[in-house]
Amino acid sequence: MLSKPLVVDLDGTLLRSDVLIESGFAYLKSAPYRFYKPLLWLLRGGKPALKTQLADATDIDVAALPYDRTVLDWLSAERAAGRSLVLATACSERYAQAISAHLGLFDRTFATDAETNLAAARKRDQLVAEYGEKGFDYVGNSRDDVPVWRSAERAYVVNPDTGVERAARRIGNVERVIDSRPSLLRTFAKALRLHQWLKNLLIFLPLLAAHMLNSPFAVASALLAFFSFGLCASSVYLLNDLLDLEDDRNHPVKCKRPLASGAMPLAWGMALIPVLLAGSFAIALAWLPARFALVLLGYYVLTLAYSTFIKRQVVVDVVTLAGLYTTRIVAGTAAVGAHLTFWLLAFSMFMFLSLALIKRYAEVHAMQARGVTKTRGRDYTVADLPMISSLGTASGYLAVLVLALYIQDARTMSLYREPQVIWLACPLVLYWISRAWVIAHRGGMHDDPIVFAARDRVSLAVVALCGLVFWAAI
């Protein structure tokens, strides 16, 4: 007989997230200059004070949180069968009540207040006081839930942490185990955005431009720089995703990111950030020139500024994105000891500004198609589309002009036997830029033009032909 109340945990059980971490990053995003205050709240009043203060200082959209659909459907069926449902969570009372009201499933809600952190033994004591020993069934996922399962009639285990299912089964009252988690390897690859490491191939551009492919040391240095930059970029991507949880969940594509969707626990994302960053700088400091480490540090600082502030500033954001692309070329130059030329810098700045503007254009165009007039987390409106297009195409064509002028440079004449052959690359690049903007105007552009180029056969053909042109000029 299943007439006893079914008590449900929130973080990691009903919710594929953690409200404390959610509110912490929401606070950090809204007030980065007051980053120290949560630490003061924790030191003065412990976890109850921290959770309560963060809840008061933030406003999370509970409707957009990543609820576990499998668990929700099961709970809905239990309620439809006449079962009394109770929410018992260690998250703040404010958010627990808001979530309970949004879902409309629970008859009662117990949560952390300013005095008591309702977790582990404290949660067990509260539930035993209300329903008696073995007077309720309990749904949980973590080690904090083990004491509660001991006092429950039946235990339901959802997406358990390592060793938790084994600990629950030792109690002997496990009724059901629900595991709805996606593939771990695939989730990690997506969270680290390994496909975005394509951008780091720009590190090899100075190596090619300086004709240093015949130097094993330079090639090895470029490869190490590639992996160092990749680890650093993945660390930043994770931090950016944690800061943008709510904005991503309201985006038609970004809502599928592992942290936003709950496929990866937020705590894992937090743990990976320093690990990846430490690995990145360990490679840079151990095997690469000091100049590369300084460029890498500059990239990280600029990316932090972009994630916390710059991306909400119209035009400044796309110029910064172009600068971040160009930084990879600067890093490649530092890694292999090549000369950083005016032509390479000018071409990359104009080209990547055009790509950054395509990215914004695609986002605003998609937003317009959904009937939204202003971007969330950005300072663009649908009225800006013509201006974004004008600036982007002009910047792309300026990149082609720089390439044409590069052919006439005296240093170019000394690097190539037939520099005039490089002229053939100009119409190819001109065609690619024009085509990319036409696709963007028609609404067919991926929200990242680099990813689009990597998947588009025509783009790959253009890159191959440009490579052939430069090879023929040598």
Domain definitions of the chain by residue range: 6-178, 184-473
pTM, to two decimals: 0.89
Average pLDDT in the chain: 94
pLDDT at residue 1, rounded to an integer: 45
* Confidence band for 2, pLDDT divided at 50, 70 and 90: low
Q: How many angstroms separate the CA atoms of 337 and 212, rounded?
A: 10
CATH topology of domain 6-178: Rossmann fold (3.40.50)
pLDDT at residue 78, rounded to an integer: 96
pLDDT at residue 178, rounded to an integer: 96
Give the tens place of pLDDT for each residue, 394-448: 999 999 999 999 998 888 888 899 999 999 999 999 999 999 999 999 999 987 8
pLDDT at residue 362, rounded to an integer: 93
pLDDT at residue 376, rounded to an integer: 72
pLDDT at residue 457, rounded to an integer: 95
Mean pLDDT, residues 120-142: 97
pLDDT at residue 13, rounded to an integer: 97
Q: According to the 3-state scheme, what is the secondary structure of 104-158?
A: CCCCEEEEECCCCCCCCHHHHHHHHHHHCCCCCEEEECCHHHHHHHHHCCCEEEE
Q: How many angstroms separate the CA atoms of 372 and 386, rounded?
A: 17
177 SS3 class? strand
Contact 142, 18 (CB under 8 A): no
Mean pLDDT, residues 18-36: 92
Give the tens place of pLDDT for each residue, 359-369: 999 989 988 88
pLDDT at residue 4, rounded to an integer: 93
Give the tens place of pLDDT for each residue, 151-180: 999 999 999 998 999 999 999 999 999 999
Mean pLDDT, residues 216-240: 96
Going by C-alpha positions, the residue among 199, 203, 263 that lies closest to residue 233 is: 199
Q: How many angstroms separate the CA atoms of 351 and 323, rounded?
A: 11
Mean pLDDT, residues 103-121: 96
Planar angle of CA 422, 427, 432, nearest 5 degrees: 120
pLDDT at residue 307, rounded to an integer: 85
Give the tens place of pLDDT for each residue, 312-342: 899 999 999 999 999 999 999 999 999 888 9
110, pLDDT greater than 50: yes
